[in-house]
Amino acid sequence: MAPFVAWMLAWEARALRTRLARLRPFALIESMLPAAALLPQAQVAIERHLALGRHDLERAIRGFMTWLRTGARMESAEAAQRRFTQLRLRFNVALTQFDLFSDVLTQRSESESGVWLSGLDAAATDALTLTGRWYVVPPVVCYLDRGAGAAIRRARTRLPGGGENPLAVIRVPRERMVGSGIASSLVHEVGHQGAALLDLVASLRPTLQALQRDPDPAQREVWQLWERWISEIVADFWAVARVGVASTLGLIAVVSLPRAFVLRIDIGDPHPSPWIRVLLSCTIGNTLYPHPQWDRIAAMWASFYPLQGIDAARRDLLDRLRATMGTFVSLLANHRPRSLRGRSMREVLAGAERTPHALGAQFRAWHGDPGALYRAPPSIVFAAFGQARMDGRLSPEDESALLAKLLSHWALAGSLRGAARCAALPRT
């Protein structure tokens, strides 16, 4: 290899190392209110992951420069360029992961929104925390983005370019802040994380596949679709179990689209047809928390999008899906995966304190003791607010104002608890 080639590649490697050094820890470059900051567990997980990546890349760059000085003379320029290109690709991966978490942290400096996001972190963590020691709850952080739907990058999954994601990152639609429906989007995404931690989807597939051996081709098609959609359905099940009718009402707000989209069945889409999905949410609700409200919501939804006028084949399939809905939801509710050690999904995810009657009574009790509202778990608050809205006891204006105050309170409480733990102070 010519000396000029080695000199030029060394120059480029030094430039790469210089730019890498400018990727400083977020703790040194992001400004935010203490209440808007990530909890220490999440902050440390992000900084540690990125620091390890920078350290490994810095070591690889130094190794490349040493190789150029000592062992590259016998190599071709092509081989040297190939090595440098691999380094540059690794640098771009480091930038991609830095930007991923930068999106999460930069919004924490926004007025009001930054604190509210910290409150959503606390609410998501509460919705993921189940009674009993079923798993270690990973750190959860939220950020806002455009669009109507939420999404999650689950903890312990592969990041772009490699490496394991150290925490769950939930993208929340900005148009949902702050008001009705935020709980539905948030807890649905939490459900994806919880289902992965408990291996619920994989444990359900063998049962659904066995039902596909039905001699009737029409029934086989139905159970094939239920299996195709199972991941999103389990997340919806989690959301209804944790926040009740708030989940279904929020879902309606998301999937209220033009008729052609609502009644479309796309077997390539992991989401059920919106028309089926809302009715399924009502069936889940009625199975976990029986109440006439679920039939009222289902009838309202069906009246929004009547089946008259669609082609006969699609109508027949929608009718068959609806006919098996009760059996399918019962299968979900009574499913006992190995991860739950003999208990069913209904027993672990649902609770008597989340029935419509209990939530209504809880909401009325808060009128006499407002301080108790701020002491209640966030998922119970979301569930009670959804029930109060369904019962006509909570206006959109009051709901938005209360949620803004509560998100700020949860953010501040979490910040103080985290600071107290770090300072080893007694909790008061």
In the block, which residue shows the tokens 């203490």?
34
- The span from the CA of 409 to the CA of 421, in Å, is 18
99 occurs within a structural domain: yes
Q: Are 295 and 282 in contact (CB under 8 A)?
A: yes
In a domain, 65, yes or no: yes
In a domain, residue 297? The reply is no
Q: Both tokens of residue 190?
A: 């939490």
Q: What are phi and psi of 359, to 5 degrees?
A: -65, -40
Place of tokens 């008061």: 428
Cβ-based neighbour number of residue 424 at 10 Å: 6
3-state secondary structure of 279: helix
| DSSP class of 355 | S
CA-nearest of 358, 370, 379 to 401 is: 370
Residue 158 per-residue DSSP state: B
- pLDDT > 70: percent of the chain: 94
Total of domains in the chain: 1
pLDDT at 46: 80
Residue 199 in any domain: the answer is no
Q: How confident is the model at residue 219 (pLDDT cuts 50, 70, 90)?
A: very high
What's the whole-number mean pLDDT along residues 386-400? 93
396 in Cβ contact with 176 (< 8 Å) = no
Q: Name every residue whose Cβ is closer than 8 Å to that of residue 255 and which is 6 or more positions away in sequence.
A: 262, 274, 277, 278
Residues in the chain: 428
Residue 13's pLDDT band, with cuts at 50, 70 and 90, is confident
Point out which residues pair with 144 in neighbouring strands: 172
Q: What is the mean pLDDT of residues 108-136?
A: 90
Dihedral sign for Cα atoms in the order 103, 108, 114, 118: positive
Enumerate residues 6+ apart whose C-beta is below 8 A from 150.
170, 171, 172, 173, 185, 186, 188, 189
Contact at 8 Å (CB) between 263 and 273? Answer: yes
The sheet with strand 140-145 has its strands ordered as: 140-145, 168-173, 151-153
Task: State the pTM of this model.
Answer: 0.85
The yes-or-no verdict on residue 337 having pLDDT over 90 is yes
> Mean of the per-residue pLDDT values for the chain?
89
Does residue 53 lie in a domain region? yes
User: HSE-up of 16 (CA within 13 Å, CB side)?
Assistant: 26
Q: What gap in Å lies between CA 334 and CA 326, rounded to an integer?
A: 12
Asked if residue 2 has pLDDT above 80, the reply is no
Does 27 score more than 80 pLDDT? no
Q: Is 66 helix (H, G, I), strand (E, B) or coil?
A: helix
Q: How confident is the model at residue 55 (pLDDT cuts 50, 70, 90)?
A: confident
Task: Name the DSSP letter for residue 340.
Answer: G
Cα 349 to its chain centre, rounded Å, is 17
| Sign of the alpha-carbon torsion through 421, 424, 426, 428 | negative
Structural tokens at position 210: 């066995």
Structural domain span for residue 83: 3-107
Asked if residue 125 is part of any domain, the answer here is no
Indicate the pLDDT class of residue 224, thresholds 50, 70 and 90.
very high
CA–CA distance, 396 with 349 (Å, rounded to integer): 28
Cis bond before residue 178 (omega within 30° of 0):
yes
User: Which contiguous run of DSSP H or E holds residue 274?
Assistant: helix 274-288
Predicted pLDDT at 52? 83
Q: Quote the CA–CA distance of 187 and 332 in Å, as a whole number.
A: 18
At residue 51 the predicted structure's pLDDT band, cuts being 50, 70 and 90, is: confident
Q: Using CA atoms, how far apart are residues 328 and 322, in angstroms rounded to an integer?
A: 10
> Which among 165, 178, 167 has a CA at the least distance from the CA of 114?
178
Residue 22 within a domain: yes
Q: What is the mean pLDDT of residues 391-396?
A: 93
Q: What is the mean pLDDT of residues 199-222?
A: 95
Q: What is the pLDDT of residue 295?
A: 97
Which neighbouring-strand residues pair with 393?
A: none
Q: Please compute the mean of the pLDDT values over residues 205-226 and round it to a whole number.
A: 94
State the DSSP H helix or E strand holding residue 291, giving kind and residue range, or none if neither. none
Is the pLDDT reported for residue 424 higher than 70?
A: no
Which of 68-81 are b and which e, b meaning 16 or more Cβ less than 10 Å from the residue's Cβ? beeebeebeeeebe
Is residue 114 a contact partner of residue 104, using CB atoms and an 8 Å limit?
A: no
Q: Is residue 101 part of a domain?
A: yes
